[in-house]
Amino acid sequence: MLFTEAAKTGIAFILAATLLGGGFANPARAQGLEGLLNGALQYFALDNLSDTQEAAYGRRIHEQLVRQGKVRLSRDRRLVARVTNMGRRLARTSGRPQLPYRFFVVNDRSVNAFTTMGGYVYVNAGLAKGVRSDAELAGVMAHEIGHLVARHAINQMRQAAVTQGIAGALGQNDNLLVSLGVSLYQRGYSRDDEYEADALGVRNLARAGYPANGLPDFLRRLQGGGGSAEFLSTHPASANRVQRLEEIIRTEGLPMRRR
């Protein structure tokens, strides 16, 4: 459960008092109070998950993705070690270093990467093998970690729950929240989310000691037709993304690798 019973009681009292004060004390309308309360609880709960709670949900989503065959994990030990070591280095300098990150290589030839809540970062083998430098791979991973720092997956789940009208049901059944996370695992983020993850990522690259231009170099190559469109299908493409990144690098004096 996401809230203690004491917290639920307190919120219930406040919400009930508000509704009753507004003239909703008749039995017919009171029947909807519990559903409204549960929806409100879940809405706020997703905003206030502790790192431990978020990681627990992330683990359950990961287990479902693997069990359902949506994600097939690579057994290439050298590639997995490369991605894991790079991810841990970036995690230490990220905006949420306390999150228990987990890094995986997906046995998929397409060029793509994605995250789920709780610190779970996935890089397709096609991307990990197709980058031209460590800086490019680190740039992609720093971008994905940026989504986790900004809690974009949690925000996306909350919005989807409200849109689908299941926020109240989520408050009663944690399994629904996990199922929602599974259904959204490769859903693209908004352009604003991508811009934010880009900015967080490129700054983290510099803090971790990687050339900051690794990320814009990778994006420029894909947008120029130098790679699979899969990454761009789940990460909204915009020429402005590269321009914004280069502006950040230039104005903040972030270290670059010479081309």
If we measure between CA atoms, which residue out of 196, 182, 106, 192 comes closest to residue 148? 196
Asked if 86 and 126 touch (Cβ cutoff 8 Å), the reply is no
CA 76 to chain centre: 25
Q: Bridge-partner residues for 120, per DSSP?
A: 102, 116
| Distance (Å) of CA 258 to CA 135, 140, 143, 212, 217 | 12, 19, 21, 11, 11
Question: Catalytic residue numbers?
Answer: 144
If we measure between CA atoms, which residue out of 147, 139, 82 comes closest to residue 119? 147
Q: Which class for 23: exposed (0-12), middle (13-18), buried (19 or more C-beta within 10 A)?
A: exposed
Q: What does DSSP assign to residue 132?
A: S
- The residues near 81 (Cβ < 8 Å, ≥ 6 apart) are none
- The residues near 134 (Cβ < 8 Å, ≥ 6 apart) are 86, 210, 214
